[in-house]
């Protein structure tokens, strides 16, 4: 069963792993271990930690070598390329959702929390590929699946994240810096959810939910921009 999973995913991403367990670990979400206590591998969070750093380095190197733009612009473009929303979308390019190992409860959730799991899975996959085959295959993978999105990001101004844009607009139009407050949080440690409100002085002008405070803040800022018509 797992051999078939591994083989199919290898075909979709175009790389054959020498150590199949590395790829299998990259697919193992923390929740899976709760129901499969005899599973022979750890969850994928350490690989995610490594993959995040490899991804950022390769994207940074690409931008530095190919664009003469100021540091601030390159930083914004990089943030747009490595954020969870884009990585979750890219996970769909090779059907990662079909391969991630989850608990039965987690498998039923197809909302924002799943998107966050998929984004983390992409980073874990990059970490596993780096350990298995080194830098150059990672560069090829990231070029094929992630860097191709840069043209669209620049053309559609998607590097202007809602939180930064709302702060800029709020300071310009009303002379106030937005403040963010956690309104609610729920769920187990491996799948927390947050509801955050954004305030202009004492007025709550928007709210949003997400699997991290940062994601929820972005959703709150997006909501506020829409409600204010900015």
Spot the catalytic one: 4, 21, 95, 123: 123
Considering the candidates 48, 52, 106, 132, report the single residue annotated as catalytic.
52
CA distance 75 to 168: 17
Annotation says 52 is catalytic? yes
- Answer for the pair 13, 128: CB distance below 8 angstroms, yes or no: no
Helix (H, G, I), strand (E, B) or coil at 206: strand
List b or e across 191-224, with b for residues whose CB sees 16 or more CB atoms inside 10 angstroms. bebbbbbbbbeeeebbbbbbbeebbbbbbbbbbb
48 burial type by CB count under 10 A (0-12 exposed, 13-18 middle, 19+ buried): buried
Tokens found for residue 45:
């969070």
Q: Name the nearest CA neighbour of 138 among 8, 15, 21, 19.
A: 15
State the helix-helix crossing angle for 84-91 and 71-82, rounded to 10 degrees: 50
Is 189 an annotated catalytic residue?
A: no
Name the residues annotated as catalytic. 52, 123
């Amino acid at each position: 069963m797992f051999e078939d999973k591994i083989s199919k995913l290898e075909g979709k991403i175009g790389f054959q792993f020498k150590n199949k367990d590395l790829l299998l670990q990259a697919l193992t979400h923390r929740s899976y271990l709760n129901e499969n206590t005899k599973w022979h591998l750890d969850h994928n969070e350490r690989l995610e930690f490594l993959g995040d750093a490899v991804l950022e380095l390769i994207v940074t190197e690409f931008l530095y070598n190919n664009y003469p733009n100021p540091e601030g612009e390159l930083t914004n473009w990089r943030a747009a390329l490595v954020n969870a929303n884009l990585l979750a979308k890219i996970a769909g390019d090779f059907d990662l959702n079909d391969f991630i190992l989850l608990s039965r409860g987690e498998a039923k959730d197809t909302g924002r929390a799943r998107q966050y799991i998929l984004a983390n899975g992409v980073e874990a996959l990059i970490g596993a590929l780096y350990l298995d085959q080194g830098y150059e295959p990672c560069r090829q993978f990231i070029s094929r699946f992630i860097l191709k999105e840069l043209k669209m990001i620049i053309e559609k101004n998607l590097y202007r994240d809602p939180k930064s844009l709302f702060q800029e607009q709020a300071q310009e139009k009303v002379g106030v810096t937005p403040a963010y407050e956690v309104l609610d949080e729920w769920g187990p440690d491996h799948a927390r959810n947050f509801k955050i409100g954004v305030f202009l002085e004492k007025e709550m002008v928007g709210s949003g939910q997400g699997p991290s405070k940062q994601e929820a803040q972005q959703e709150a800022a997006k909501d506020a921009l829409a409600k204010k018509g900015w």
